[in-house]
């Protein structure tokens, strides 16, 4: 075993990690578990229970319905502002935390289509997360339009490793395209799109762009205003550590605030929530993307997760993410390549997010066997073992031990 693949080397990397102390601020009841799926569900911050307890006992339990006028009504926007500033490069009043990613995608895609009433085509990638594809197809159908698909037709074909480029998108554009929907980080390969270049290509053809930041928020520094983006959505239960089923978020460029419409109007998006008027009148700004009643309890959990990332700083988070993924790829090359494992993630750190996907024909069985051993990655169809590396909680020794366990399984298979 060379020095670079020894556990001692991994321990030295942990010893010099400036973010190592953040792991101590999460609930880790069983240190023997090697958790490599933080890009599906982030760990529980230790502060979250106290934050929720305050809402449950101090606000709901004591103040009851008075809590709506004592802070609950503004919480989706307060948490949104903190999330936007810390993770998205956004200014005040540009981000709201509400609903879930699927609902928010429907809302912003519908809004974008309405802003281009003379166009009826949505451009999306066949490799997008299923929700994105389903919503894109439904929004296009509801406007008597269609989807122009990028990428391979056959879902059984191994997914591409390289990011979608501005040239790829430009080749699909025409004068009937209203909106382009793409993910910043591919949920399978971790390929990282060039937001600025793609957005410029879309705008050159008079269309709008919606970015799904679910695998980027909290792992990759974003500057949505600086990139020229129109709309963005993302979840908060992955790298943001907001908890299972945590509410998602919407960001909208301020230049669109006066013209965007919410296709799911609800009382919380009304200009006067308690007016109870007969006709819907949208609230100004980002508030109009509110629909139903928000969960004060869930918002407290998201806020606790955002606070940790804000304190760590996204530049430091990105630096560790790059180091973790590079180390994982190095180990895979040294230990797993002889067993036919391929790295299905871009090798250029500037083109990948915070996970590494390892391709093998027995990926599903290997993922289950690893989980049975207390090493928890994720499986992605058709042949990917996805190793999620959450910078605030994942150690270099976790990466070492996880890849070593995978090597032992492959050795046993012969």
Active site residue 107: no
Residue 53 backbone phi and psi in degrees, to 5: -60, -40
- Annotated binding residue at 267? yes
> Catalytic residue among 17, 37, 212, 303, which?
212
CA 324 to chain centroid: 18
Beta strands 375-376 and 34-35 are parallel
Q: Show the tokens assigned to 374.
A: 């207390």
- Annotated binding residue at 393? no
Q: Minimal CA–CA distance to 230: which of 252, 247, 205?
A: 252
Please enumerate in sequence order all residues whose Cβ is within 8 A of that of 234, keeping only pairs 6 or more positions apart, or say none.
101, 212, 213, 214, 216, 217, 248, 249
> Catalytic residue among 237, 239, 327, 396, which?
237
- Annotated binding residue at 95? no
- Annotated binding residue at 315? no
CA separation for the pair 249, 214 (Å, rounded): 10
Neighbours of 120 (CB within 10 A): 15
Q: Show the tokens assigned to 347.
A: 């090798």
Active site residue 106: no
> Catalytic residue among 320, 352, 386, 407, which?
386
CA separation for the pair 341, 332 (Å, rounded): 8
Active site residue 320: no
Q: Any bridge partners for residue 181, and if so which?
A: 124, 210
- Annotated binding residue at 158? no
- Annotated binding residue at 160? no
- Annotated binding residue at 45? no
> Catalytic residue among 26, 35, 106, 129, which?
129
> Catalytic residue among 119, 143, 188, 238, which?
238
CA separation for the pair 161, 21 (Å, rounded): 33
Q: Show the tokens assigned to 178.
A: 């209203």
Q: Please, what is the end-to-end C-alpha distance for the chain in angstroms?
A: 20
Q: Any idea which residues carry the catalytic annotation?
A: 129, 212, 237-238, 386
Binding residues: 101-102, 129-132, 212, 215, 237, 267, 293
Binding residues for pyridoxal 5'-phosphate: 101-102, 129-132, 212, 215, 237, 267, 293
């Amino acid at each position: 075993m060379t020095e670079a693949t020894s556990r001692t080397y991994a321990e030295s990397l942990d010893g010099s990690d400036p973010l190592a102390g953040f792991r101590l601020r999460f609930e880790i009841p069983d240190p023997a578990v090697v958790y490599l799926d933080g890009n599906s569900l982030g760990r529980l911050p230790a502060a979250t229970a106290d934050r929720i307890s305050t809402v449950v006992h101090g606000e709901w339990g004591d103040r009851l319905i008075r809590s709506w006028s004592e802070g609950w009504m503004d919480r989706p926007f307060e948490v949104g502002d903190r999330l936007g500033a810390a993770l998205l490069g956004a200014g005040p009043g540009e981000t709201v935390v509400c609903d879930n990613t699927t609902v928010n995608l429907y809302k912003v895609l519908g809004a974008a289509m309405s802003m281009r009433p003379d166009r009826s085509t949505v451009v999306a990638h066949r490799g997008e997360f299923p929700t994105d594809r389903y919503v894109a197809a439904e929004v296009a159908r509801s406007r008597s339009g269609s989807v122009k698909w990028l990428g391979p037709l056959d879902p059984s074909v191994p997914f591409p490793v390289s990011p979608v480029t501005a040239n790829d998108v430009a080749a699909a554009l025409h004068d009937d395209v209203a909106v382009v929907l793409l993910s910043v980080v591919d949920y399978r390969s971790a390929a990282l799109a060039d937001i600025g270049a793609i957005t410029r290509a879309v705008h050159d053809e008079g269309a709008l762009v919606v970015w799904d930041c679910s695998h980027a928020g909290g792992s990759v520094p974003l500057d949505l205003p600086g990139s020229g983006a129109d709309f963005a959505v993302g979840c908060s239960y992955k790298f943001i550590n907001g908890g299972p089923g945590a509410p998602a978020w919407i960001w909208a460029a301020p230049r669109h605030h006066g013209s965007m419409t919410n296709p799911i109007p609800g009382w919380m998006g009304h200009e006067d929530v308690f007016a109870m008027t007969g006709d819907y009148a949208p609230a100004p700004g980002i508030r109009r993307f509110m629909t139903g009643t928000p969960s004060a309890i869930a918002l407290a959990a998201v806020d606790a997760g955002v606070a940790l990332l804000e304190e760590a700083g996204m530049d430091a988070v990105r630096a560790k993410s790059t180091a973790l993924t590079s180390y994982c790829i190095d180990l895979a090359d040294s230990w797993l390549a002889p067993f036919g494992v391929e790295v299905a993630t871009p090798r250029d750190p500037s083109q990948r997010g915070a996970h590494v996907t390892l391709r093998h024909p027995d990926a599903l069985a290997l993922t289950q066997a690893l989980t049975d051993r207390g090493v928890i990655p994720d499986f992605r169809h058709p042949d990917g073992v996805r190793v999620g590396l959450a910078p605030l909680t994942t150690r270099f020794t976790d990466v070492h031990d996880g890849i070593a366990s995978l090597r032992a399984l492959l050795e046993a298979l012969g």
